[in-house]
Structure 1
Amino acid sequence: MTSTERAARTSVADELCRSAYAAHDGPDVGVALIAAGGYGRGELAPHSDLDVVLVHDDGLDPGPLAQQVWYPLWDSGSRLDHSVRSLSQMVAAAEDDLKVALGLLDIRHLAGDPNLTLRLRATMLGAWRREARERLPDLRVLVDRRHDVVGELAHVSVPDIKEAEGGLRDATVLKALETTWLVDVSSAELERSRQSLLDFRDLLHDQTQRPTDRVAPELWEPMTQALDLVDAEAAQRHVRELGRRITHLSRLTWRRVDDMLARPASVRDARRPALEPIAPGIALARGEVVLAARARPDLDPSLLLRAAAEAAQRDAVLAPATAARLARESSELPTPWPAAARDALVRLLASGTGLLPVWETLEETGALAGFLPEWERIRMLPHASPIHRFTVDRHVVETCVEASALIRSVARPDVLLVAALLHDIGKGQRTEHSVAGEAIARAIATRMGFDPEGVDLIALLVRHHLLLSETATSRDPDDPATVAGLLAHVPDAASLDLLLALTEADSRAASPQAWSTWRAGLVTRLARHALAAAGGDPAPPALSGDLVVPALVEEGGVWVGVESDTDGTRVAVMAPDRVGLLADAAAVLALQRVPVHSARAWSQEGRTGPVGVSVWEVSTPDLDPRVLRERLVALAEGRIDVGARLARPAPGRLEPLVAVRSEASRSATVLEVRTDDRPGVVHRVCATLAALDLSVRSAHVATVGPQAVDVFYVQESGAGRLSDERASEAAHAVRRALSPIEGEAARATK
């Protein structure tokens, strides 16, 4: 079936309507027979209704014609949806009902007075464009409700190619949005997908011999031959891919509608949007992440991933034109990847719900294939298990979204997120997918530049991502033999923590039933037994080696150094060691609005006494070490009021977790802090500890997407480990310092 056949089918129906009008002496003035909806667009399927309206001028009675014109159409066996209305009644109906208004945007003249049809069409289009800003929010509600009820064409087991998200109804809505002249839609891409879905609907009507839009599971096999495809799976992929593309265009367009409606009129109507720089080479324009004016994709292979990460973390649109340009022009990522590219991927995967729309843009523009060509193995691949609510590729993205909420529970959040991305990469292979996936994941992780330990962990998690769930639900989790069997494959506590988090994320992404209270209880109980048997938490990370102390520091001064390369910028700070030095260094960077990705701090012996050293990994280039040093000296001398200049960090989405790891060190008390990454977090923690006269002898600070994962080795000033009471006091103080103000107020009233 093709558009040519639909046009021929429409032409036959048009001639039938004109003959019926003429046979009953329909007038040439004041009355018109018009086609609306799909018939108005000339898109009749074999069993479609003829949506026809007899319109007349106000005050004119069409007489017997209003009844008689329909009889020839009924006698022909056509399915008819008909009505008789005056021009003012048509206008009123469109004002009262959005569905009517949308249908009347596609009216087409059949017979009678063409000027009346033209007036009606001009009235409908004018009203739609004039009232669009007021009507679009209501249209959005209607669309969302339909999606909630019918589901997404790309994923539901029995898709409705008309009403489902990504179906023909959404394509019609997109055309209506474009008609407002307020937003742009990728018309060529939309029209290709829409026409292909119309072709499929024609075949579906012919196959079932009835006007259905729902594709029952048993219909995929018969449709295979009609589509000239190899098997039922290919037929599903074809149709669901069309739905995925229209869904992407729909979500993108509605985001643009939301942004347009939220902007002041002066900004909304500006011809050229203002560019707000947000990262090197990257800017924000009207809620979309785009390239900065002087960006050089050919010199920065990590630019695509960095732009995607910025968009996802800001819950902004990654402009499709930008993604497509980067896919074409970016220099090829070397093997192994530079640290900037790997870090950007991890930040992208850690962005939570912001990941999905950005990932869809990467897919639809072809940009994803540039850095993860293996994705094509699972693209639009249906799941064999009915417990899954998504295709394999979408399930993987949902697993990353779920994993992003669990990164505070593991020692290697980067490993967890990449393992979530790759855990089903072996599906579609002839061998068992976890076995096939292990080798694929190992090769990808190596290419991404992970350290050997990280590569081994990712491969292990992909190979055994089903082990914990399958063992817990098929064996007694309290039996020592069950625990021993698990430990034979996953022998250490760090790997077990990662496997537990991946199991939960994978299950939650599959369906609510896959992570029921019962199943979660069994899995968690087995994991706890195995963790106890494996010896608890892993050893703390090693401290950095000593650095050469400049003479300035030996004489009691402060030294700041800045070094930049392709992986970012490092700021080193050295000064005579004292309580609060690390807090002051963190405050200086926070005052400069410098985002901190990671930091290490330690104390080493100099010729004239202990020297405090800290090294900070930041993303801001071109920092002036003289300015940083002057501010650090001013802080130490009390010439800058940090409390006034650096406000409390904005409340985060999650309550902070502060744990005392008493077993992690013999010489210090270890505080593990996990919270949303916000400006000023490191300073807040260090200042709080300094106020308690506690010395931070070592700090291991890291940012993974939206999550700060910070470990502080704390001692009493001039002494050693904290007592249990002091450790508890420090943990509570840090937790209070990072908690939302509203939460403190609520606790104060209890």
Structure 2
Amino acid sequence: MTATDRARRTTEADTLCRAAYEKAELPAAGVALVAVGGYGRGELAPYSDLDVVLVHAGAVDPGEGAGDVWYPLWDSGARLDHAVRTEQEMLDAAARDVKVALGLLDARHLAGDPNLTLRLRTTMLAAWRRDARSRLPALHRIVRQRHELVGEVAHESVPDIKEAAGGLRDATVVRALVATWLVDVPHVALEHARQDLLDLRDHLHEIAGRGADRVGPEAWAELAARLGLEGEAAAQVALRETGRRIAHIHRLTWRRIDGVLARPVSVRGARRPDLRTVAPGVALSSGEVVLDGRVAPADDALLLLRAAAEAAERDVVLSPATAARLVRESPPVPEPWSAEARDLLVRLLASGRGLLGVWETLEETGAVDRVLPEWQRIRLLPHASAIHRFTVDRHVVETCIEASALIRSVSRPDVLLVAALLHDIGKGELTEHAVAGEPIARAVATRMGFDAAAVDLVGTLVRRHLLLSGVATTRDPDDPATIAQLTSRIASPEAMSLLLALTEADARATSAKAWSSWRAGLVHRLGAHAIGVLESGQPPTGVVQDVVDVPDGVRRGATSIDVLEADDGVRVRVIALDRVGLLADVAAMLALQRASVRGARAWTQGDVAVTEWDVTDTAVEPAVLRQRLDSIVAGRIDPAQRLRPAEQARDGTALAPTVAVRTDASTVATVIEVRAADRPGVLYLVCATLAELGVTVSSAHIDTVGPQAVDVFYVQEQDAGPLADDRAAAAAHALRAALTPPPRPPDR
């Protein structure tokens, strides 16, 4: 599939349309058949619609021929999107709707009166240029809304190559922006990327046997074969690279448009371009950072970093031509880096949102490889977890942006930002990425001229960047062993403070779900306590547990249920006299309510048990919960029947649950970690199974990673001691049996 194939399809469609027009009885003048949109551009894919309009002058009546022209096209089997409009109706529609205007910019004459088509195109283009300043803000809003809805070609697991950011729609928008004469763009790069994406869409249509714009998982292998690439991964990289190039040019063009619109219109014609030096060798001109001509690139190895830092800090465009020239002509930064070079890099990374556009320009021009050749390890690398919004490289940039807002909370902002840049550098390796990334990060930090202490901090942060989040969500903060686990790996308050900031930046850059207020509270509470322990030098203690007021009725056997407001959901607090099985009953109550539990805590105050459950649902009524719990306790509802595991898939591909006893996680309880498919009832099944064994659950820590529930339970014997080894093994075996779905009956 090439441009030649598209030209052939367009020629065949043109011949079909002209023949249909000639058969219809239409006036010789004042009527024309016009192709618009993709057909107007001559870019028909195998299953594209033919977008055509029969245009006529207001004084000309096309008669019955206006309907007759469509019948031969329908009979041919062509997919037709058609309309009949007067010339003025076309212009009025374009004036009202910017999307109609975009389609008419590509209007192409097919048949009839060519003067009418020429007049329509000329008038439309003149109006587009005349009204551009007033119309482009509305177009930009539409584009942003589309991006928010569909995502980016470079980052979506099932990318939409037409509507997503970096897709064909964006390429069309860029052409329309250029048509305003307000800006210029890298035409060659845009056209090459656009043609590559058109080729891929042609193949996708052929593979799907229909008009398709989304690339599903089943299409990658055949796409790779058709594109002559080795494997699905190569095909994904090719598409992501093309999409990112279009997205970069698209964003760059809008930045230039915004700069033009922000400047007053000159009434005296063209002005001389302003050139204001902002740093040695670097100037600001028309909203872009360029070279001022006073320093030759060959004489200053830091000119690239200086230009990038200035552009990012000012949140303006780093001229791609300038970056490309510096890559060609400037020498590499001498190793180890000087303090000035490090400072420029830190300024770049600390620039906030201004970093994103500048980093994209550095990537597109090959400048990143000059500064950080290790970047190729993660370039366009997809994340294994669906919770991530972006590919690994973009996630790293987003982490730096998030970390830039936290630099005042740490003693070494430079270490935090470089660790943010390098925290995922080990991804793509066969070993655990934090382990693989540590030696790489140490080598990079050494090359950048950091002293030994700072290199050690960077390496430790990269190696342990998942530690605080993992412990906070899967371990009991009340257990001194939890703090001991943290402080045995992070030995100084400074390092723990940096880790806390890096954890937050990493999670915020991942997705909103990865840094909910609930998760943030867990991490900050644990991190602050660990810092306090390290600063005091005292032996680790647990986080001080909450003490709640116990209603009088509870001591007489009643159960108190309250629904409290909380960020990102609600907190259900249940207070009752302590007994084995209480946690299972409450878990069943919430599971039958279809409440999504994301965290649970349990503790005792004398003979009273307190359980708190953080749930994402907000429409939770205490009266409904109390009625459901009463029915469970009285035996009117059997949760085991309603919440048993679903049958396994016939092909045996369903993942079996795993149950592990973590012997080193606590000295006061036995810690059991359960991983199973995330669904209602898992928490109940675990608690009910443990209750049958006479085991109490002192706390539960619930987390979800993609489709998998990762739940950790601190369990004790009824006399409050940890389980003996044989009892722990028996509990693990019973949990596996309870969570394993029964085999599906064979087909008859």
TM-score computed with the length of structure 2 as normaliser: 0.70
Tell me the distance in 1 between the aligned counterparts of 2:214 and 2:332. 43
Tell me the distance in 1 between the aligned counterparts of 2:322 and 2:286. 14
CA contact (8 A) 1:400 1:420 kept: yes
Output one character per residue of 1:268-296: Cα deviation in whole Å (capped at 9) or x when no partner: 95353111111111111111111112122
Gap change, CA 1:388 and 1:267, over 3 Å in 2: farther
Tell me the distance in 1 between the aligned counterparts of 2:269 and 2:165. 30
Tell me the distance in 1 between the aligned counterparts of 2:82 and 2:216. 30
- Correspondence list, 1:157-306, <5 A: 157-266=157-266, 270-306=270-306
Tell me the distance in 2 between the aligned counterparts of 1:215 and 1:536. 56
Query: In the TM superposition, what is the alpha-carbon distance from 1:352 to its structure 2 partner?
Result: 0.8
Query: Is 2:57 the counterpart of 1:62?
Result: no
Query: Is 2:414 the counterpart of 1:414?
Result: yes
Gap change, CA 1:267 and 1:120, over 3 Å in 2: closer
Secondary structure class of the residue paired with 1:352:
coil
Output one character per residue of 1:374-398: Cα deviation in whole Å (capped at 9) or x when no partner: 1111111110001111110000000
Output one character per residue of 1:229-263: Cα deviation in whole Å (capped at 9) or x when no partner: 22222222211211111111111111111111111
Query: In the TM superposition, what is the alpha-carbon distance from 1:25 to its structure 2 partner?
Result: 4.0
Secondary structure class of the residue paired with 2:266:
helix
Query: In the TM superposition, what is the alpha-carbon distance from 1:340 to its structure 2 partner?
Result: 1.3
Tell me the distance in 1 between the aligned counterparts of 2:166 and 2:61. 43
Output one character per residue of 1:17-70: Cα deviation in whole Å (capped at 9) or x when no partner: 011111224444221111110000000001100001111122111112101110
In structure 2, the partner of 1:724 is none
Query: In the TM superposition, what is the alpha-carbon distance from 1:191 to its structure 2 partner?
Result: 0.5
Gap change, CA 1:305 and 1:267, over 3 Å in 2: farther
5+ long unaligned stretches in structure 2? 538-748
In structure 1, the partner of 2:331 is 331
Query: Is 2:155 the counterpart of 1:155?
Result: yes
In structure 2, the partner of 1:91 is 91
In structure 2, the partner of 1:703 is none
Tell me the distance in 1 between the aligned counterparts of 2:529 and 2:151. 40
Output one character per residue of 1:494-550: Cα deviation in whole Å (capped at 9) or x when no partner: 11111111011101110111112222222222222322221259xxxxxxxxxxxxx
Q: Aligned residues, how many?
A: 537
Tell me the distance in 2 between the aligned counterparts of 1:112 and 1:426. 63
Secondary structure class of the residue paired with 1:535:
helix
In structure 1, the partner of 2:526 is 526
In structure 2, the partner of 1:117 is 117
- Correspondence list, 1:160-559, <5 A: 160-266=160-266, 270-535=270-535
CA contact (8 A) 2:105 2:176 kept: yes
Q: What letter is aligned with 2:182?
A: L
CA contact (8 A) 1:478 1:529 kept: no
Query: In the TM superposition, what is the alpha-carbon distance from 1:223 to its structure 2 partner?
Result: 2.4
Query: In the TM superposition, what is the alpha-carbon distance from 1:483 to its structure 2 partner?
Result: 1.6
CA contact (8 A) 2:26 2:63 kept: no
Tell me the distance in 2 between the aligned counterparts of 1:153 and 1:284. 32
Query: In the TM superposition, what is the alpha-carbon distance from 1:157 to its structure 2 partner?
Result: 2.8
Q: What letter is aligned with 2:526?
A: L
Gap change, CA 1:43 and 1:468, over 3 Å in 2: same
Comparing 472-481 with 203-212, which one deviates more in the overlay?
472-481
Q: What letter is aligned with 2:87?
A: L
Tell me the distance in 2 between the aligned counterparts of 1:536 and 1:330. 51
Tell me the distance in 2 between the aligned counterparts of 1:61 and 1:506. 65
In structure 1, the partner of 2:78 is 78
In structure 2, the partner of 1:607 is none
Tell me the distance in 2 between the aligned counterparts of 1:522 and 1:146. 35
Secondary structure class of the residue paired with 1:370:
helix
In structure 1, the partner of 2:553 is none
Query: In the TM superposition, what is the alpha-carbon distance from 1:218 to its structure 2 partner?
Result: 3.2
Gap change, CA 1:268 and 1:393, over 3 Å in 2: farther
Query: In the TM superposition, what is the alpha-carbon distance from 1:116 to its structure 2 partner?
Result: 1.4
Tell me the distance in 1 between the aligned counterparts of 2:439 and 2:178. 47
Tell me the distance in 1 between the aligned counterparts of 2:217 and 2:135. 38
Query: In the TM superposition, what is the alpha-carbon distance from 1:146 to its structure 2 partner?
Result: 1.4
Tell me the distance in 1 between the aligned counterparts of 2:533 and 2:268. 62
In structure 2, the partner of 1:4 is 4
CA contact (8 A) 1:281 1:303 kept: yes
Tell me the distance in 2 between the aligned counterparts of 1:267 and 1:65. 50
5+ long unaligned stretches in structure 1? 538-750
How high is the sequence identity, in percent, across the aligned residues?
A: 67
Q: What letter is aligned with 1:221?
A: A
CA contact (8 A) 1:233 1:382 kept: no
Q: What letter is aligned with 1:384?
A: A
Output one character per residue of 1:452-503: Cα deviation in whole Å (capped at 9) or x when no partner: 1111110111111111111222222222212222222211111111111101
Tell me the distance in 2 between the aligned counterparts of 1:513 and 1:221. 31
Output one character per residue of 1:211-230: Cα deviation in whole Å (capped at 9) or x when no partner: 12122233333322222222
Q: What letter is aligned with 1:130?
A: R
Tell me the distance in 2 between the aligned counterparts of 1:415 and 1:41. 51
Q: What letter is aligned with 1:353?
A: R
Query: In the TM superposition, what is the alpha-carbon distance from 1:80 to its structure 2 partner?
Result: 0.2
CA contact (8 A) 1:20 1:69 kept: yes
Q: What letter is aligned with 1:503?
A: T
Tell me the distance in 2 between the aligned counterparts of 1:511 and 1:86. 49
Tell me the distance in 1 between the aligned counterparts of 2:132 and 2:393. 36
Query: In the TM superposition, what is the alpha-carbon distance from 1:78 to its structure 2 partner?
Result: 0.7
Tell me the distance in 2 between the aligned counterparts of 1:183 and 1:528. 51
Query: In the TM superposition, what is the alpha-carbon distance from 1:128 to its structure 2 partner?
Result: 1.1
Query: In the TM superposition, what is the alpha-carbon distance from 1:364 to its structure 2 partner?
Result: 0.8
CA contact (8 A) 1:259 1:287 kept: yes
Output one character per residue of 1:172-228: Cα deviation in whole Å (capped at 9) or x when no partner: 010011111110011111111111111111111111111121222333333222222
In structure 2, the partner of 1:679 is none
CA contact (8 A) 1:27 1:113 kept: no
Tell me the distance in 1 between the aligned counterparts of 2:131 and 2:525. 58
Tell me the distance in 2 between the aligned counterparts of 1:478 and 1:491. 20
Tell me the distance in 2 between the aligned counterparts of 1:268 and 1:430. 64
Gap change, CA 1:536 and 1:137, over 3 Å in 2: farther
- Correspondence list, 1:562-577, <5 A: none
In structure 2, the partner of 1:42 is 42
Tell me the distance in 1 between the aligned counterparts of 2:186 and 2:480. 60
Tell me the distance in 1 between the aligned counterparts of 2:130 and 2:527. 61
CA contact (8 A) 2:160 2:214 kept: yes
Secondary structure class of the residue paired with 1:162:
coil
Tell me the distance in 2 between the aligned counterparts of 1:135 and 1:106. 18
Output one character per residue of 1:636-663: Cα deviation in whole Å (capped at 9) or x when no partner: xxxxxxxxxxxxxxxxxxxxxxxxxxxx
Secondary structure class of the residue paired with 2:32:
strand
Tell me the distance in 2 between the aligned counterparts of 1:332 and 1:374. 15
Secondary structure class of the residue paired with 1:306:
helix
In structure 2, the partner of 1:14 is 14
Tell me the distance in 2 between the aligned counterparts of 1:387 and 1:102. 36
Q: What letter is aligned with 1:480?
A: P
TM-score computed with the length of structure 1 as normaliser: 0.70
CA contact (8 A) 2:283 2:291 kept: yes
Secondary structure class of the residue paired with 1:528:
helix
CA contact (8 A) 2:151 2:165 kept: yes
Output one character per residue of 1:421-475: Cα deviation in whole Å (capped at 9) or x when no partner: 0000111112211111111111111111111111111011111111111122222
Alignment root-mean-square deviation, CA: 1.5
Tell me the distance in 2 between the aligned counterparts of 1:229 and 1:345. 36
Secondary structure class of the residue paired with 1:277:
strand
Tell me the distance in 2 between the aligned counterparts of 1:269 and 1:353. 34
Q: What letter is aligned with 1:519?
A: R
Query: In the TM superposition, what is the alpha-carbon distance from 1:145 to its structure 2 partner?
Result: 1.7
Query: Is 2:146 the counterpart of 1:146?
Result: yes
Gap change, CA 1:92 and 1:267, over 3 Å in 2: closer
Tell me the distance in 1 between the aligned counterparts of 2:220 and 2:448. 39
Tell me the distance in 1 between the aligned counterparts of 2:164 and 2:267. 35
Tell me the distance in 2 between the aligned counterparts of 1:140 and 1:532. 49
CA contact (8 A) 1:478 1:526 kept: no
CA contact (8 A) 2:26 2:66 kept: no
CA contact (8 A) 2:153 2:160 kept: yes
